[in-house]
Homo-oligomer: A and B are copies of this chain.
């Protein structure tokens, strides 16, 4: 048995670099050792270009051999994103008996059920809090905290980029096209903003939440989706004249008879009253409302993006996974 819990990090982008720095921060390291029961050891960081220096990461940890790194780890943390080679590496990790943590929303939306099945088959955990709304612990809440309850609906502002745009229009009176341009300049939008503006990012998140809440076999094709690109200045003026604010709302709810429940999901712009809790989300903030049979209405609010904020969720999942490693040792 290793004296440490060996962590392999796949990817060193904004989130990966923040995770690596925190794992190597001596102050945090003591904390993690106390919480897990054994020290965490970052055994390597897989990157494409090992010659590029990465602020705060010991160059000796960098490797281009992701597959070789996976073989040396108890917990494999995938923060590279994309659909190649992430799934193959996660599969390899699970077959080797490693616990898996991923922040890869796109991968989970497309292949989540297959990866969950593979994790179960290999007796390992698959944690993905960071894939949905960064540090807002919504996956843990619907999957674990409400495991004794019956979630009836989930709705929220789950995409900070579009919320930034809509907030500029609603509160600063910026014209829609200018707001999109400003959000792009400030880094709120990807180079290709389609994922955000057409609601695809929000749709992927609501799919992950519907699965976590209900174990539902749903995919992104099941989401009734309308983005914000079709909105006009007229729409915003009409909303404002009626004292309302347009937000891009993602939602999922159970319908049909109790013995044969169905899950429905939608992403669409909605004109909300000013005092609606979802209307309160400013700039890049996220908010989600969960309704459950016994708990009533819970609301979670926080930053839904950001490297450091997403790292918080990844690190929480790493501690969770490392505890499993120690427990099963």
Contact A294 B308 (CB under 8 A): yes
Residues of B within 8 A of A34 (CB): 215
A146 interface residue (CB < 8 Å to B): yes
5 closest A-B pairs by CB: A148-B315, A135-B295, A137-B145, A294-B312, A295-B312
Hey, which bits of chain A sit against chain B, CB under 8 A? 18, 22, 27-28, 31-32, 34-35, 129, 134-137, 140-141, 144-150, 215, 258, 277, 292, 294-303, 306, 308-309, 311-320
Closest chain B residue to A146, Cβ basis: B316
Closest chain B residue to A19, Cβ basis: B148
Chain B nearest Cβ from A298, distance in angstroms: 4
Residues of B within 8 A of A318 (CB): 148
Residues of B within 8 A of A277 (CB): 301
Do A300 and B303 contact each other (CB < 8 Å), given the known contacts A147-B319, A316-B146? no
Closest chain B residue to A310, Cβ basis: B294
20 additional A-B residue pairs with CB within 8 Å, beyond A31-B150, A149-B315: A34-B215, A134-B295, A135-B149, A135-B296, A137-B298, A140-B145, A146-B316, A147-B316, A148-B315, A148-B317, A277-B301, A292-B312, A294-B309, A294-B311, A294-B312, A296-B303, A298-B300, A298-B301, A298-B302, A299-B302
Residues of B within 8 A of A135 (CB): 149, 292, 294-296, 298
Contact A295 B317 (CB under 8 A): no
Closest chain B residue to A129, Cβ basis: B145
Chain B nearest Cβ from A147, distance in angstroms: 4
Residues of B within 8 A of A140 (CB): 137, 140-141, 144-145
CA distance A27 to B32 in the complex (A): 40
Contact B302 A296 (CB under 8 A): yes
Closest chain B residue to A317, Cβ basis: B148
Residues of B within 8 A of A147 (CB): 35, 315-316, 319-320
Residues of B within 8 A of A316 (CB): 144-149
CA distance A311 to B303 in the complex (A): 30
Residues of B within 8 A of A312 (CB): 146, 148-149, 292, 294-295
